[in-house]
């Protein structure tokens, strides 16, 4: 649990609302997995939720189904309408497509090995492949295409059609566990995989999954990677204190960010691309201006902040993941609490209405870097606000 300085009233902080959970069904493979929820993902269009418990099975559940089954009691506390028996998933067949009613169906996908990473990807036909010989492609993805990439224990990446559950591609090049996967958000179906073999690999799924580039630079395991909203920059973090930034147009390293005292395990850009948040085992989340390689904000799970020696060790407050809310006003983090029941909990972010100033700032920062904003002939207070020196 986070601790707060005397100047902060914990009651004034917006609280997330618990709305429901998915429980672990009782099955032999669930017992072997240690009843842990290893990785989850939402589809970009909000149609599906994917869930892996660390074994070879991935569950694809329509998000509308989840919402219909979550209900709120009179006391204001959320209740769960799902139970292990009621969470039944339909078996897939090769000829199965989208139902005529266009209602998403539940699927259970057997990936053949332990699943470490999940990522959804959608196709935009106008975004062409880098490959020249597009006539020879085996797959022609349409605009309504929704894919699921799974990173496996044996170093393979399997690409699935979400609507049919059919295996489309089997990508093989990593020599160790594929820890994380991320698609470029521009619809190009460029996929980046992060692995314990100390590399990132860039794949072009519109070119039948051909590998475009191996990104080298990490000296240890790579835990996580994330694209900027315009897909021009990739951030990667791993077993080390540095944060790597890559130019995805030239596929070269831009710079490293230094500031953490322990392994950096998660990263994400803000919705406008102006900020970068990184989470570390040092009990902290750092919010960066990645354009200028400066620290704007430090969020700690311990107060007062631990010394670098304590933060760099087994401090029982390892921050595992970080994520921005779509409104750009909130950051969610996950830290160790020693609870391993395998369930998935869903929370509703604090309700708030973004001010017009913040909306205008996000709109501007989607198209302008910090350096471009600083070059504007505007008053200093406005410049500080637009560059997030004033959060």
**Which residue segment(s) compose the domain that 366 sits in?**
354-390
Residue 345: inside a domain: no
Predicted confidence (pLDDT) per residue in 94-152, tens digit? 333 444 456 778 888 999 999 999 999 988 756 666 665 556 667 776 667 899 999 99
Per-residue pLDDT at 199: 97
Per-residue pLDDT band at 307 (split at 50, 70, 90): confident
Residue 169: inside a domain: yes
> b or e along 173-210 (b: 16 or more beta carbons within 10 Å of the residue's beta carbon)?
bbeebbbbbbbbbbbbbbbbbbbbbbbbbbbbbbbebe
Q: How far is CA 311 from the centre of its chain?
A: 24
Whether the CB-CB separation of 148 and 118 falls below 8 Å is answered with yes
Residue 121: inside a domain: yes
Residue 359: inside a domain: yes
DSSP3 helix / strand / coil % (the chain, rounded to 5):
10, 40, 50
Return all residues near 356 (Cβ < 8 A) that are at least 6 apart.
Answer: none
Residue of higher predicted confidence among 280 and 309 = 280
Per-residue pLDDT band at 274 (split at 50, 70, 90): very high
Last residue of a domain, one of 216, 236, 258: 216
CB-based burial label for 128 (10 Å; 0-12, 13-18, 19+): exposed
Q: Which tokens belong to 43?
A: 């589809």
Helices (H) and strands (E) in the chain, counts: 6, 26
Query: Looking at the predicted structure, is the pLDDT value of residue 62 above 80?
Result: yes
Return all residues near 260 (Cβ < 8 A) that are at least 6 apart.
Answer: 241, 242, 243, 278, 280, 282, 284, 286
Query: Looking at the predicted structure, is the pLDDT value of residue 229 above 90?
Result: yes
Predicted confidence (pLDDT) per residue in 319-344, tens digit? 889 999 888 888 888 887 667 677 78
Residue 85: inside a domain: no
Please tell me the pTM assigned to this model.
Answer: 0.85
Last residue of a domain, one of 168, 195, 216: 216
Whether the CB-CB separation of 204 and 193 falls below 8 Å is answered with no
Last residue of a domain, one of 186, 216, 246: 216
Per-residue pLDDT at 200: 98
Query: Looking at the predicted structure, is the pLDDT value of residue 25 above 70?
Result: no
**HEC-encoded secondary structure of 118-156:** EEEEECCCCCCCCCCCHHHCCCCCCCCCEEEEEEECCCE
**What CATH number corresponds to the domain at position 148?**
2.130.10.10
Over residues 381-386, the mean pLDDT reads 96
Sign, Cα dihedral of 317, 292, 201, 57: positive
123-127, 172-176, 191-195, 376-380: which range is least confident on average? Answer: 123-127
Partners of 298 in beta bridges: 286
Return all residues near 71 (Cβ < 8 A) that are at least 6 apart.
Answer: 20, 78, 79, 81
Query: What is the chain's mean pLDDT, rounded?
Result: 83
Per-residue pLDDT band at 87 (split at 50, 70, 90): very low
% the chain with pLDDT above 70:
78
Whether the CB-CB separation of 244 and 237 falls below 8 Å is answered with yes
Residue of higher predicted confidence among 38 and 34 = 38
Per-residue pLDDT at 147: 94
Query: Looking at the predicted structure, is the pLDDT value of residue 16 above 90?
Result: no
Please give the tally of structural domains in the chain: 2
Predicted confidence (pLDDT) per residue in 184-207, tens digit? 999 899 999 999 999 999 999 988
Whether the CB-CB separation of 66 and 346 falls below 8 Å is answered with yes
Q: Are strands 242-247 and 233-238 parallel, antiparallel or unpaired?
A: antiparallel
């Amino acid at each position: 649990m986070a601790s707060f300085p005397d100047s902060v009233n914990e009651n004034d902080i917006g609280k997330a609302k618990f709305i429901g959970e998915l429980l672990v069904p009782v099955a032999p493979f669930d017992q072997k997995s240690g009843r842990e929820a290893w990785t989850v993902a939402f589809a970009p269009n909000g149609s599906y939720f994917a869930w892996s418990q660390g074994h070879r099975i991935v569950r694809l559940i329509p998000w509308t189904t989840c919402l219909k089954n979550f209900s709120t009691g009179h006391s204001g506390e959320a209740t769960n309408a799902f139970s292990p028996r009621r969470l039944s998933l339909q078996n897939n067949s090769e000829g199965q497509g989208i139902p005529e009613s266009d209602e998403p169906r539940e699927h259970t996908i057997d990936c053949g090995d332990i699943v470490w990473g999940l990522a959804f990807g959608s196709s935009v036909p106008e975004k062409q492949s880098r490959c020249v010989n597009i006539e020879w492609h085996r797959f022609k993805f349409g605009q309504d295409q929704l894919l699921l990439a799974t990173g496996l224990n044996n170093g393979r990446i399997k690409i699935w059609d979400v609507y049919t559950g059919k295996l489309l591609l089997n990508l093989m090049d990593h020599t160790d566990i594929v820890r994380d996967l991320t698609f470029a958000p521009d619809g190009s179906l460029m996929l980046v995989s992060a692995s314990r073999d100390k590399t990132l690999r860039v794949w072009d799924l519109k070119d039948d999954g051909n590998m475009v580039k191996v990104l080298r630079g990490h000296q240890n395991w790579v835990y996580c990677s994330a694209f900027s909203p315009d897909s021009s920059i990739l951030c990667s973090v791993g077993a080390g204190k540095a944060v790597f930034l890559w130019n995805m147009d030239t596929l070269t390293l831009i710079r490293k960010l230094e500031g953490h005292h322990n392994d950096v395990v998660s990263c994400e850009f803000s919705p406008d691309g102006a900020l970068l948040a990184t989470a570390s085992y040092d009990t902290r989340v750092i919010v960066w201006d990645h354009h200028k390689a400066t620290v704007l904000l430090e969020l700690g799970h311990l107060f007062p902040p631990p010394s670098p020696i304590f933060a760099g060790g087994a401090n029982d407050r390892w921050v595992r993941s970080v994520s921005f809310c779509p409104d750009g006003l909130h950051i969610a983090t996950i830290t160790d609490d020693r609870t391993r029941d395998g369930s998935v909990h869903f929370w509703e972010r604090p309700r708030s209405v973004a001010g017009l100033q913040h909306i205008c700032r996000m709109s501007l920062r989607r198209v302008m870097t910090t350096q471009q904003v600083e070059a504007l002939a505007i008053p200093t207070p406005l410049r500080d606000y637009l560059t997030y020196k004033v959060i």
